[in-house]
Structure 1
Amino acid sequence: MYQVIGGVKSRALRVLWALEEMALDYEHVSAPPRSDAVISFNPAGKIPVLVSGGVPITDSVAIMTYLADKHGALTFPAGTIERARQDSLTQFIVDEFDQLLWTAARHSFVLPEDKRVPEIKDSLKWEFERSQKALIPRMAEDGPFLMGDIMTIADILLAHCGGWAVAAKFPIVEPQFRDFVTMMRERPAFHRAMAA
């Protein structure tokens, strides 16, 4: 059984959601960043942490990739063109969505107050809108998911960023992106993960 450390109002939700989609057993420890429960597995104090066979794995994208590869779900096989496209989408989402949202969070409540630059958020929101426009041509036309009719970890990552954007008051200006986020958040596995 896996152990997931981190609260559902963090990137740990991505991992919990992936585990639910794959119908895998896990134990959830809802612990905040830099808590003793987290530091005992990740000295940096960051969440999420997945403990697999006593070994801690950090970073939500790395964890989802590990789980997907290990269980042959939510991914295309390594070495295929489809996997290259999936990995490209995953990196695009990290660079163009996750990074902007995380920077905004850092300047809202993560950094010490005297290091925050609240004005940066206007620029980040502008970039977020541009990123949505760049995303749309990359979305499959023939299926509900980013790559068509097969769901991958990239879908979970993007849907999580979409929910985070709404909570952070970042504008979702592209209807296709908004519809995608809504569709993904209606999935039963998402609701089970939120209740974890």
Structure 2
Amino acid sequence: MTLTIYGCYRSRASRNIWLANELGLSFTHVPVIQVYRLPDPNAPGAPLHTQSPDFLAINPKGQIPAIDDGGFKLQESLAINLYLARKHGGPLAPKDAQEEGLAEMWSLWASTSVEPHALNIQYHMAAYPPEKRKPELVEAALAALPAPFAVLDGVLAQGGGFVMGGRFTVADINVAEIIRYAKPATALFDAAPRVKAWLDACHARPAFKAMWQAREAEAA
């Protein structure tokens, strides 16, 4: 069966490519750009984008990432990672039903309790040009994130530096790719030193570095 990952590196597809690298999977990468990044998505020669008919046949929701795994189509980056880890097994996968529950729990927790605020930090402290930044969103994020960062710091202390199972797993990838958005707010990490050390260790992994190198080479 052939795995195809749809999405540009500068999207949540980075999560799936990182995991595929960790698992040593052979896959085809089909770049798909977010339609809002194109001045005219209908122009002749426009790249494949999230509203292109060919991509909507893969994901009618018109969002990246998506995968086609030998005819099985799946969307939502965190779900894709949980599926691939379970399918291919090994130490990155949950070892039993309890760990499956934990991996799902921490993935959902990160996406709901951390990601909305962390994205505001990423965009309004770093990614957006100054004239588009909204300081009030940064202030709200900085007020909201210390509590979940403290929770994660405590979990890492109990788990030997990992989110679950005392080892590096898909749960670390899913949570780390969300925590990463908050990196411009260095004070958050200074107050949660285990989170900082864990994220640094995640980003030192060869599979992450390979994904990030390809991301940096991709057109902004």
- TM (norm. structure 1) is 0.82
Q: 1:183: Cα distance to partner?
A: 0.5
- Give the direction of change, closer, same or farther, for the CA distance of 1:26–1:195 in structure 2 (3 Å limit): farther
The 3 A distance-change label for structure 1 pair 170 and 42 is farther
How much is the aligned-residue C-alpha RMSD, in angstroms?
Answer: 2.9
1:27 aligns with 28
Task: Check conservation: 1:140, 1:146, Cα contact below 8 A.
Answer: no
User: What is the percentage of aligned positions where both structures have the same residue?
Assistant: 27
Distance between the aligned counterparts of 2:31 and 2:150, measured in 1? 35
Equivalent pair of 2:4/2:68 in contact (CA under 8 Å)? yes
Distance (Å, rounded) in 2 between the aligned partners of 1:123 and 1:154: 27
Whose radius of gyration is greater, 1 or 2? 2
What corresponds to 1:132 in structure 2?
A: 149
Query: Could you tell me which residue of structure 1 aligns to residue 40 of structure 2?
Result: none
Instruction: Evaluate the alpha carbon distance shift between residue 168 and residue 38 of structure 1 in structure 2; reply closer, same or farther with a 3 A threshold.
Output: farther
Q: Contact 1:12–1:60 at 8 Å: present in 2 too?
A: yes
Out of 201, 204, 209, the position equivalent to 1:191 is 209
Change (3 A) 1:195 1:123: same
How far apart in 2 are the matches of 1:103 and 1:38?
A: 28
Q: Conserved in 2, the CA contact under 8 Å of 1:89 and 1:154?
A: yes
1:27 aligns to what SS in structure 2?
Answer: strand
Query: Is 1:86 the equivalent of 2:98?
Result: no
Give 1:182's match in structure 2, choosing from 190, 197, 200.
200
What is the aligned partner in structure 1 of residue 18 from structure 2? 17
Query: 1:145-169 CA deviation, whole Å, 9 max, x = no partner?
Result: 2225322211002221232222587
Secondary structure, in 3 states, of the residue corresponding to 1:28?
strand
Contact 2:118 2:179 in 1 (8 A): no
Paired residues for 1:1-196 under 5 Å: 1-34=2-35, 35=49, 36=52, 38-73=55-90, 74-79=92-97, 81-102=98-119, 119-141=136-158, 143-166=160-183, 171-172=188-189, 173-196=191-214
1:35-67 deviation digits (Å, cap 9, x = unpaired): 125434222221111111133211011100110
Q: What number of residue pairs does the alignment pair up?
A: 192
Query: 1:9-37 CA deviation, whole Å, 9 max, x = no partner?
Result: 22111100110111010111222124125
Partner residue of 2:218?
none
31-40 or 51-60, which deviates more: 31-40
**Distance 1:102-1:139 versus aligned 2 partners, 3 A rule:** same
Q: 1:41 to 1:142 in 2, by over 3 A?
A: closer
In the TM superposition, residue 107 of structure 1 has moved relative to its aligned partner by 8.1
One-letter code aligned to 1:185: H
Aligned to 1:113: none
Unaligned residue ranges in structure 1 (runs of 5+): 111-115
Q: Normalising by structure 2, report the TM-score.
A: 0.74
CA offset digits 1:86-136 (Å, max 9, x no partner): 3222222122222323466788999xxxxx976233212211222101222
The 3-state SS of whatever aligns with 1:119 is helix
The amino acid across from 2:145 in the alignment is: F
Q: Is contact 2:122-2:183 (8 Å) kept?
A: no
